[in-house]
Amino acid sequence: MSEKLHPVSIEVNGHRREAQVPARLSLVDFLRDELRLTGTHVGCEHGICGACSVMLDGEPVRSCLMYTVQANGHKVTTVEGLAKADGSLSDLQDSFCETHGLQCGYCTSGMLIAAQALLNSNPHPSEEQIRDAIGGNLCRCTGYQQIVEAVKLAAGRTK
């Protein structure tokens, strides 16, 4: 017997996407496998590492812990949606490059989402607020210092 499908309509990075999905399809699998937005990474698949972070209506969420049907009617922003309209890097992405805020890059899309969500709500955060905002995102490479520097640099560039 084939699995029942459910209609969803989700705004992803400013574009409305309609699909028929199984009830148990995770949001991260939908983004990566159906929409080919592979900038969102899959790490632990149980809510610990933060690699799969995306914004849901502006708030960072773990897309491995959400079903696609739960995003129906909502706005999702992935790391691909952070770039400027002309496709160039955002100030935050640029700052990560400048301060060497990444090495292997596995955590980077999740870090960018967590940091951008912070800067959207608080354009000039303290170091403590930056560390708190990225506290749910694990990085095995950088020791976090350059990531914090990147967010500070991006905040300094915000008018």
Q: How far apart are CA 118 and CA 136, in angstroms?
A: 13
Q: Which of 5, 23, 44, 97 binds ligand FES (CB under 6 A)?
A: 44
Tokens 């698949």 appear where? 45
Between 20 and 61, whose beta carbon lies closer to ligand FES? 61
Task: Show Cβ contacts of residue 25 under 8 Å, excluding neighbours closer than 6 positions.
Answer: 67, 68, 69
Considering the rule CB under 6 A, would residue 144 count as an interface residue with ligand FES?
no
Considering the rule CB under 6 A, would residue 37 count as an interface residue with ligand FES?
no
Considering the rule CB under 6 A, would residue 42 count as an interface residue with ligand FES?
yes
- The least distance separating ligand FES from the CB of residue 105, rounded to whole angstroms, comes to 6
Question: Can you state the angle between helices 108-121 and 91-98, rounded to 10 degrees?
Answer: 130
Q: What is the dihedral of CA 157, 154, 100, 52, to 10 degrees?
A: -160
Considering the rule CB under 6 A, would residue 97 count as an interface residue with ligand FES?
no
- The least distance separating ligand FES from the CB of residue 41, rounded to whole angstroms, comes to 7
Q: Which residues bind ligand FES (CB under 6 A)?
A: 42-45, 47-52, 62, 64, 102-108, 139-142
